[in-house]
Every structure is written in C-alpha cells, then in structure tokens.
A and B are shown apart, each in its own frame.
Chain A
C-alpha cells in the first residue's frame, strides 16, 4: 500500500489535526475561566460596575470559546479507541485511569457549574454565583492536570510493569504516575503557557477598543490585567520551560538533540540559533551557534557533554533492535524554535506594554482629560511622534493575540512528534498502536469529516468572537445590579431569562 495512505499515517494526521485544533481552545478556556472569575471576584468585593461589565464581556467570549473546547474534547476521548485500539489495549490499564479520573473529578465539575453560571445570574445569590465560576476554573485546571499526567506517562513511562501473559503494560504505582517530575513540570509549563494565551487575548482585545477610544474604563482595567497576566505567565513559562527542558534532556535525549539539530555529542555543546542540515547524511550544512549554552540548558554546566542524534540513535538500536529511532528532525528543530520565539515575544510585549501604560503615562496631569482617558503611551519629548508611534503599539498589541497560540501549537507538535517513532517512549512504537481492524477508507472518511466540520466551525467561532469583541461590554440592567438574595431567585418569575439561549 502507498505509504502516504497507510492507516498509521492517516491516524497520525487525524490525531495531529484534532489535537492541535482542540488545543487552540483549551489554553484560552483555562485562562479565561480564571481571569473571568478574578474579575467577578473584584465586582463582588468592590461593587465597581466596571468589573461587572468586564466579567460579562470576557465571560461571553469565554463561553463562545469553551463550547468549542468541550465538543472537540469528546473526539479526543473516542479517538484512542477508534484509531488506536492496539494502543488502548496495551496501555488502558494505566492510561485509562487518569482519563476516568478527569471525567469523574474534573469534567463533571466543569460542565455542571458552567450551566449554573450561565443560567444562574438571576437564580443565585451573588457569592454563590461567584463560587460557580471558580468551580469551573478549578475544573478546567484539574482536567488539564489529569490529561497531562496521562500524556507524561507516554513521554516517560513510570510505575508500571509489562505483563507478558496478557501482552500489556500494567499499573503498579498510580501515585508515581500522578507525581513524577515529567507530569509536574509539564503541568506547570502548560498552565503558564495557557495564561500566556489568555493574557495576550485580553491585551489584544483591550488594545483594539482603546485604540478606538471606546469602553475606556473597562478596557483600561482589562488591559492592565492582561499585561500583568502576560508577564507573570511569560516568566512562569520560561522558568517551567527550562525545568521541563532539563527533565527532557535526561528522559528523552533524542527529542532534545533533534530540537537542537545536534548530530554528534559534544562537550561543551553549543546552542543552535540557525541550522540547515542533511537528514540522510546526519550533519548540518549551515549552523550558527552560541558556544556552551546547550550544555548549560541541559545540565546547568557550560562545559558538560550532551549526546547527539547519531549517538542516541545508535544507543537505541543497540537497546531496541535495528531501526531508525530519529523523529522528524526539521519539525522538531523548527517547532522548538517557533515555540520559544513566539512565547518570548509575547513576554517582551507584555513588559513593554506595562511600562508604557504605567500610571505616569495613563494619568499624568496635562495628558489626561478625565477618568476616562486612554493611555497616551507618550514616551517621547517630541509630541508629534507620540500619536503616530502609539498607533503602532496598539496594532502590535492586537497581533500579540496570535503569538502564544502559535507557541502553544508548536510546543505540542514538538512534544508529540519529537517522541516518534514511539507512542510510549521506549515501550510501544506508534506503528504497533493503530487499530488493525480499521480500514484506510474509514480513517480517511473520519479525517475528512472532522477536518471539514472543524474548518466550518472555526469560521463560525471566529466570526462570533469578532462580533462580540466589537460589541464591547454590555450595558448593565437593574437585574444585573440587584442579584437575587435567595437560591432559585426571589423576583418576578415571569421576567425573561437573563442569559438564556
């Protein structure tokens, strides 16, 4: 059979498409849930209307987004059994448990309380209603944790033994699966990266309105919240990324060697800035490098030895038998770079933005006309230059929205493709994981169906987001400002439902 249409290839494409698509919504859901909860907390504590408006505005965008996250998540759970049945048979004993935990502990939480939050505005007292969005937020984070524990087990299998009689891996230490350093660092890194997405989303949309001098009070607050989120998350992503990198150098040396296009082991090893190589011959034809940096990233020591692709390949051939144990090196190399580059760009924009919008510029006398003043971004003594440059800052801020998303997507592509040809590193090969009974036609059908549906839904979702972004925060009504004091609502039962479908 033509290799391009082998069920394994198609199943991998399908997994890649559905996972990357799903993961466009996940980080935004995780971060917006918490940010919305934070804004609503500010409303409950201070009773300032701008916080309630902000809660409703960002909450609406959150709901549009979470809907897609939830429905595309169902595909993920079904897909293991449909396309990867031999994988499911082999690792179900271990991998299934965190999935089941996710459903029982996290997902029930999230989806039950989201219903309460959407419809609860005029049914629940203010504090209980606030608790609901926090429950949703906790649910999304727990959900991420269990999924990442499962994924980490595929990156670095622990707490199991092989049962030869049943031909499968069996769990021996669940606690270890949940608490191994791969799972914890990956969780730390993914959550901080998720907040990078949410922070940039808030910054971009706030900038969009501020540039047009609209909804200033709400958007100025949102801009600052977004910028601070962006910075904290950016620093967190960098720190956790460094930690995760060190773990990966020990656990998956091949992945990290591929990320660096380091063909042969070196001591000290240089960090590659740009490389172009020949995969067949196993060397780079062009390489721009920073000496010693890779050694430092791997081992905290500028002169230590780092094994290269060819060394690890050889070691794995000795251990697992003949074969090619190299992942797709250009994808790993560039994926790693896009991830770091776009992630760090987001952090930089956050830092610059916070500097530009600090109180001095926001509220300096002579620069403001009142409470509703737009940040002037005046950095220059020549006043004529300021508005022109200011405009550019708003445009960059808007583009920032895309950066962490690109970084997140490439991060996952790098993580998952860097592990190939293994599906469970060192234990199960991807080609042995596919469903033997599923035909090429079936996988092709589902791949086309999902891709088409996802494409249509992407257009719908983006259009809806744009519509609600442009509409801005809603005007508050009497009902909004006077929430019920009793559970179940205590006012006119015939009034229209506030947040209904």
Chain B
C-alpha cells in the first residue's frame, strides 16, 4: 500500500468523521422544526449540540485541507467544478455558525426566532447538498483532458445525485433524532424516539435504493460488504430505537453513515473523481496526489495528531454526557 493509498483512506476517514459528527448536528438543526413543539424545546435541542458542533465542523475543514495537501488536483477540480453548490454550502455554514452563537445574545423573541429559522434551513440545505456532491463524484462528471470540470451547474442535478442528497438529508435527520433521544429527558425524548422510528423507515427505503443503484453501477465485492453492513446497521438502529436502546441505536446509525461513506469511497478507488467523458481523463490516486515527500510529512502529522484529536473530542462528549431537558433552560431567555 503506497502513501497515496493511505491518504485516500485517511480522507475517507475524515469524511466519515465529518458525516458521523456533523451528521447528527445537521439532523438536530432540521429537527428544531420537525420535533420541537415550542421554543423551549428548540433550545433544548440546540443545547444538546452546543458544546460540540464547532469541533464537529472542523472535520470538514480538515478533510478540505488534507485533500488540498494530499491530492491538490482533486481539490482543484472538485472545488472549482462544484462552484455553485459549494458556494451555497459555504453561505449556509457561515450563517449557521453565527446563528448558534448569536441566537441567545439578545432577549427579543423576534431575534431568536429568526436565528432559529436560519438554523433549520442552514442545516437542511448542506445536509442535502453534500449528498448531491458525493453522488456526482461517484457517478463521474464531465472532466476534460486538463482535469477541468466542463459540465454546468444543471449537470450536477441528475437523478442519482439528487437521490444521494435525499439519502444524506434523511439519514442525518434520523441520526439526529436518535441523538436527540439519547441526549434529552422527558416528553421530548419520547417523541424523539417515535419520530426516529418513522424517519428510520423513510431513510431505509431511500438509502437501500441509492446503495443498490451504486452497487449495480460501480460496485465490487468490497463495496457489497460495506453496503450490507450499512443496511444491517440501519435496520439495527431502527430496531434499537424501538426497544428504547438509544445508545445502541446511535452507535448503529453512526456505523450506517460510516459504512455508506466507505462504500462510496470503495467504489471510487483507485479513482478520486472519475471522468464521464473519457475514463482516461479520470483523476486517480496517482495522477492527483502530492509528492511522496509531502505525503510522508502529512502522514507523520496525522499519526500524531489524530489520536490526540479523538482523545480530547471524546473527552468533550464525556464531560457533557448528561441528558438535558426543558428544566435546564433558563426562563429569562
């Protein structure tokens, strides 16, 4: 296994980390409309992710930075090619970050309601668009001899990618509902469970369609294995939430995300961005990667930093392990 293969795996791991973690906080954002009955409940939901969402988002920045460093051509083609969707995602992430931080900084109800609206939309839209983006990467887009994306914005809105978007949206929302059930107390917890069950069933149908489509189109033995794991864990997560085993359900919905993302990366390899115009023009782990020297330095950095990151991020979740409920929300604001 050469270093560029290692980095292909590491970038897959970073995306898995990102979708696992920000997946549930996107989900919580969407659930502020679907699950919360009143504003106090909205605040409970937002507070479940309050201490951690910022750290979750860094997984995206690290995935982006690592792609830049390890596969500059991939980074360049992807970011310039998917210009408008990425612009929308960026605008959402800007507003979303500010919304979390500023919502409670003024007592006026109008102010807070506006930011709550913002949290809903800016969680929903990226949750959908990431699926669209990955759908397109796997499916292959119009990349020319110069490694430039020559398609249009509308080319990105094909049925396969749109289905991918629906899968990430529903899967993250399901994952968020399970997280909500795990982290809250009282009435909201009960409703989170029953909503998770319904969301889980919708997710299962969409995810199965998307994963089977992927497998039929691009799959091999390994991707089939990942697909089976994803589907079994999703069913397990739905079962566990019905049995009231919230911790198990959350772990399983997380593994579902991990396995589904792993499946996409497995179908890609050794490409990183296949060309739909001519397979010879595809970006691969070899023609898109950095020099062995750069990869070696990066590998050292990752080998030392990643365990530390996991350690202190894990510690954060442990510090804030207690469930919260409406009684934890101060009535003043």
Contact = CB atoms under 8 A, between A and B. Distances in A.
Interface of A: 63-64, 67-68, 70-72, 74-75, 77-78, 80-83, 85-86, 88-89, 91-97, 99-105, 107-109, 111-116, 118-120, 123-124, 163, 168, 170-172, 174, 435-438, 442, 445-446, 449-450, 453, 457, 460, 464, 467-468, 487-489, 493-497, 500-501
Contacts of A500: 43, 47, 50, 104, 328-330
16 contacts: A75-B90, A77-B68, A85-B77, A88-B75, A88-B79, A93-B291, A95-B68, A96-B294, A97-B298, A103-B61, A108-B55, A124-B319, A453-B94, A488-B322, A496-B330, A500-B50
Contacts of A92: 68-69, 71-73, 75-76, 290
B86 interface: yes
Contacts of A453: 91, 94-95
Interface string B49-85: 0111111011011101110111111011111110110
Nearest to B309: A108
Interface in B84-99: 84, 86-87, 90-91, 93-95, 97-98
Interface of B: 43, 46-47, 50-55, 57-58, 60-62, 64-66, 68-73, 75-81, 83-84, 86-87, 90-91, 93-95, 97-98, 100-106, 146-150, 290-291, 293-294, 297-298, 301-302, 305-306, 309, 312-313, 316, 318-322, 324-325, 327-331
A449 B91 contact: yes
Nearest to B81: A437
Contacts of A100: 62, 65-66, 68-70, 298, 301
Contact of B87 (A102, A445, A488): A445
A276 to B, nearest CB: 41
A97 B51 contact: no
Nearest to A87: B76
A501 B297 CA distance: 40
Nearest to B87: A446
A116 B301 contact: no
**8 smallest A-B Cβ distances: which pairs?**
A92-B72, A81-B79, A96-B69, A67-B101, A496-B330, A96-B68, A85-B80, A85-B76
B248 to A, nearest CB: 22
Contact of A81 (B46, B60, B75): B75
B49 to A, nearest CB: 9
Nearest to B148: A437
Q: Which of A63, A108, A497 has most chain B Cβ within 10 Å?
A: A108
Contacts of A163: 291
B47 A116 contact: no
A442 B72 contact: no
Contact of B80 (A75, A93, A102, A437): A437
Contacts of A107: 58, 61-62
Given A104-B309, A501-B100, A112 B55 contact: yes
A170 B291 contact: yes
Given A123-B319, A501-B47, A172 B293 contact: yes
B54 A111 contact: yes
A94 B297 CA distance: 11
B87 A116 contact: no
B93 A104 contact: no
Nearest to B296: A174
Contacts of A446: 83, 87
A197 B71 CA distance: 37
Contacts of B103: 501
Contact of A104 (B46, B71, B306): B306
Contacts of B93: 71, 74
A119 B50 contact: yes
B328 A171 contact: no
B328 to A, nearest CB: 5
A194 B105 CA distance: 26
